[in-house]
């Protein structure tokens, strides 16, 4: 008698997205440097954005997801998150890491009428994604605050 064994893969319970800051090899962390300069409202929104998307399996359905960048940035699947604080548009550029559900934050910037501040934000995101693949930069995990 033969039994057909059907293997059902259950979703890994409790596995949420983790967020990692891009870091230069010199230990300088441009994401944290950008974040600490945000206003209090900006900091709260930044944290809320990450908290909100960490439980959403499919990045296409991340509410703050603006778009996947086209052009040369498409090579590294760089995406753009948006949030608003102090009547300003903020953007986080990032891509996916090598691990499952690993999101890498590459650049934090502002955006107004198609102009990014700093103006080289897209180029920086591309360069940083490239350096990560080449081992010329590293990552540090970002802890999402759940106490505020």
Identity of the residue, 60 or 115, whose beta carbon is nearer to another protein in the bound complex: 60
Q: Is the dihedral of CA 84, 90, 95, 96 positive or negative?
A: negative
Query: 4-18 as b/e, with b when 16 or more CB fall inside 10 Å?
Result: eeeeeeeeeeeeebb
Binder among 33, 37, 41, 141 for another protein (CB under 8 A): 41
**Residue 81, exposed/middle/buried by CB under 10 A (0-12, 13-18, 19+)?**
buried
Residue from the set 32, 43, 59, 102 that interacts with another protein by CB under 8 A: 43
How far apart (Å, rounded) are the C-alpha atoms in residues 90 and 31? 13
18 binds another protein (CB under 8 A): no
Q: According to the binding rule CB under 8 A, does residue 49 interact with another protein? A: yes
Give yes or no for residue 102 binding another protein (CB under 8 A). no
Contact residue for another protein among 24, 25, 33, 57 (CB under 8 A)? 57
Among 28, 33, 37, 63, binds another protein (CB under 8 A): 63
Q: Give phi and psi for 102, each to the nearest 5.
A: -115, 115
Tell which one of 3, 8, 27, 61 touches another protein (CB under 8 A).
61
Question: With respect to another protein, which residue has the nearer C-beta, 16 or 127?
Answer: 16
Q: What is the DSSP letter of 136?
A: S
Size of the site for another protein (CB under 8 A): 23
Q: Strand, helix or coil at 139?
A: strand
- Nearest distance from residue 26's CB to another protein, in Å? 24
């Amino acid at each position: 008698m033969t039994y057909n064994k059907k293997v059902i893969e259950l979703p890994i319970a409790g596995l949420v997205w983790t967020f990692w800051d891009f870091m230069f090899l010199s230990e300088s962390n441009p994401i944290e440097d950008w974040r600490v300069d945000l206003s209090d409202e900006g900091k709260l929104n930044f944290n809320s954005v990450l908290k909100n998307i960490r439980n959403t399996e499919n990045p296409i359905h991340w509410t703050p997801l603006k778009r996947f960048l086209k052009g040369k940035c498409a090579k590294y699947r760089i995406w753009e998150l948006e949030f608003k604080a102090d009547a300003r548009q903020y953007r986080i550029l990032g891509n996916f890491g090598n691990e499952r559900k690993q999101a890498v934050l590459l650049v934090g910037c502002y955006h107004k009428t198609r102009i990014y501040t700093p103006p080289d934000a897209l180029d920086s995101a591309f360069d940083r994604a490239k350096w990560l693949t080449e081992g010329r930069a590293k990552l540090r995990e970002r802890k999402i605050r759940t106490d505020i």
